[in-house]
């Protein structure tokens, strides 16, 4: 093989290794997002269960608002829920988050 051909082969090998690295990184990112989505769904299910246990069924509007919250807000809601005395407290808390 000539030096030019050898360089081409080496460059292709490097490019393939780079691509493998990008694929591995993308897979890791996908798994992390999947885990975060799972945690979010679990937190939402917990909040809804707590609300139903304490106040009974809630409107679809409230349910949708809860489902639209990011994970950090859902976690905050779990903590704040302990201080709610009525469904109105929940609605007020949600309204503050939508502003």
Q: How much is the pTM?
A: 0.65
For residues 65 and 83, the answer to whether their CB atoms sit within 8 Å is no
What integer is the mean pLDDT of 40-56?
91
Question: Whole-angstrom Cα distance, residue 70 to residue 50?
Answer: 18
For residues 71 and 99, the answer to whether their CB atoms sit within 8 Å is no
Q: Does 86 score more than 70 pLDDT? A: yes
What integer is the mean pLDDT of 33-39?
81
């Amino acid at each position: 093989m000539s030096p030019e051909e050898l360089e081409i082969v080496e460059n292709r090998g490097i490019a393939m290794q780079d691509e493998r690295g990008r694929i591995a990184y993308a897979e890791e990112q996908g798994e992390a997002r999947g885990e975060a989505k799972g945690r979010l769904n679990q937190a939402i299910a917990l909040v809804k269960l707590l609300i139903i246990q304490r106040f009974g069924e809630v409107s679809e509007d409230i349910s949708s608002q809860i489902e639209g919250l990011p994970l950090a807000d859902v976690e905050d809601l779990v903590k704040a829920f302990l201080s709610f005395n009525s469904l109105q407290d929940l609605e007020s808390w949600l309204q503050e988050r939508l502003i």
